[in-house]
Chain A
């Protein structure tokens, strides 16, 4: 099992009010599954995604990802864990504007201790996989939205993490680009056995996943098998 959430809750203070975006949530995701999370705004989708990717820590409960209980890790340990285990794909790509596509993809590898030659090889492979082998030297400003998202996907997979999390990866793309991105994510799941958790509002995007879960008010509503 890649992901095991047991009674995971998350609450925080907003002024003097306690907000609980996730409440006693149980979830299991097997290795290699492509899971879509849907739900209205404020349902806790992004909070869950942040917890699964080690960007945030749960207030209570146990969160075991790739065999490690990350709910007990300290901030510094969590940062190091993220570098090895998670690739994050953002809705607005979040590429570093002053770096080229090659340099953006190379970023996670700077933490890996690989040699320059090894890094070059892996970046080249990742960019080739997302169909942008000819865009090494382009800065984000010189790429289309779809191309930027593909660079972001290359950045997410270049360090070969077992888990990919995607926060509305097609939310800012036109239909054709969105289709290509979803195909790419599916390929990564099937061909490279990546476990993918994707938050989306788009039912068409969710249809590309193996399974779709609906969240509302911090709790899972239903469990639909889509494939």
Chain B
């Protein structure tokens, strides 16, 4: 174990290296990041024994990962914004083929206009692809989640792909202290991948052929549904094993910060949670009871855990760093739906903030908490969705 200063991109490359990714396929042009550059360096130096495939697009990168994964190899790729949405078709294929690929996506806004800064719309718009979705707060969490994701995804009861989102610039280009685990420890925690049904010329089999409505298509989809239901309990167990091996604790789909007695709770995913914690500390020093829930996993959506964590809150402000035009922020929609039918539900409001990387400051967050207090005192949510810090 050694502590070093590194960016989120380098931490992601270390995560793939320590996980001993065997096939890395990547397209190197913007919005691609230095993740694949660092991995290319690891491979060319001989630090990582992997097949590094330069492909002609992100669509092809995912196709290569799927094929590699189906031969029984541990596959990795990294992408960002336009690259991720170009992969869309094959994301469905990867989960349908039960390929346990792990991918890192640097969360960036989609063009036009061009903007390489953080936003979550790229990943939120992959909601229904059957991928597990993580959002990280720190570079350490990027590295650790990558290692845990392979263990989770390759589990015989899961067999699904996962994508790990890290906020552009606030993680991808930010240098922080990261504890790099020893390879021996990672090897103990994460054994080699063994596919139950590898493509093998000695024992040929066919994957992805036609299935008629009266045959097995519905059942294939039902099995994915069942596997997704098993993800959160399985993750819980993996995080406990991780804690025993590495001494770092992760708390499942949610990180709760001062929520127990909080009147007002904000919910967010991604790195801006750090700025919210700072703001919560300031409010708490004045005796004002506010808290934060950081959503670490968006798929599967942790409805139960959220319902429980919000059971004592009077007011919930949901911060979305993405937007579904014609409706509202994605986390807001999901949260409201999952609260339906609960006995006592808090008042709830959606804040759209930090779009296209606009900086979320402690002032922004203070304004949002105050906005929530005003609604709570008036016993009325003024508007269901409010865009914050907008110049028009």
User: Are A and B associated in one complex?
Assistant: no
Residue ranges of A at the interface with B (Cβ–Cβ < 8 Å) = none
